[in-house]
Chain A
Amino acid sequence: MAYDYQAVHVLDGTIGAVPGQRANHLAVHRATAIAVVLAAPGHGAEAAGILVADGAFEARFCGPGEWLVLSEVHAPETLVAELAIRLGAFAFVVDQSHGRVALTLSGPDAARILANGIAVDLHPEAFAVGRAATMLCNHLSVNLARTGIDRFDLVVMRSFAEALVADLKVMARSHDLSVDFATR
């Protein structure tokens, strides 16, 4: 018997792709490695310092002493191992590559589309490029990161990914939006 397990993406068969590269685009990432870093109690500052100083990874704020680290180049176990080496006793690193789904919404109407479900002021002066936080999008909690003036990443619990994509399509109903898996 051959045991070569193939992983499926939670949105395989349910993404409801809207083809093309329209003015606004929602890309679902297939194989982003995602880790959660939890600072060891009393070592929040050290953990944050290491994450900031190390340019190799982009850490996104979730809450005090808690960050999401995303990587498009590492395998999940490599990402966890690399982070664990760098952070040592200052943090616990948990693989969440299968627990979360990363999406990128880009386009001139991106902030306006998000305002149909998100209460946070996304004006570039209020939520600048590089900022990230966890917030409510309609009924779902998502981690939102601004990666460009017209570009946002959303990270959501895997079991809610289908609902989030369905919501984003409705939020973008008045705007031109294409939806598909990201091509690497």
Chain B
Amino acid sequence: MASLISCPHCGVRPKEEFSIRGDATPVRPAPMASDEAWNDYVHVRANPRGRIREHWQHVAGCRRWLVVERDNFTHEVFSVTDAAAARGGAR
């Protein structure tokens, strides 16, 4: 776990300012997608070692949801981006 996370909006902050939701890779399926797709999205998570993408919220700062790409073995953080920007949304 990193000690410090560099929020793209607020700068370098201690990990205590963030809360972690989990895997950021699953994409919410369309409403009528298959049972399997929905079951995967809601219930099934891989637990890989190495490079992962997670949703972190900067709860004590800008309150933005971020995508943190990091290595859960070496603890290296590769990138921190805004979750909305990652989805190409407006802000």
Contact = CB atoms under 8 A, between A and B. Distances in A.
A–B interface present (Cβ within 8 A): yes
A63 B10 CA distance: 8
Nearest to B89: A41
Interface in A72-88: none
Q: Interface residue tally of chain A, by bracket?
A: 10 to 19
A136 B64 CA distance: 15
Given A41-B91, A42-B90, A63 B63 contact: yes
B17 A135 contact: yes
Contact of A133 (B10, B63, B90): B10
A133 B11 contact: yes
B60 A136 contact: yes
B62 A63 contact: yes
B84 to A, nearest CB: 9
A81 B30 CA distance: 42
A17 B63 CA distance: 33
Given A41-B91, A44-B91, A62 B14 contact: no
A63 B64 contact: yes
A125 B16 CA distance: 24
Given A135-B13, A136-B16, A63 B90 contact: no
Contact of A119 (B14, B62, B82): B14
Contacts of A44: 91
Contacts of A64: 9, 62, 64, 82, 91
Nearest to A136: B60
A133 B62 CA distance: 8
Interface of A: 41-42, 44, 62-66, 119-121, 133-136, 141
Given A119-B14, A121-B12, A136-B60, 6 more contacts: A41-B91, A63-B58, A64-B64, A120-B13, A135-B17, A136-B13
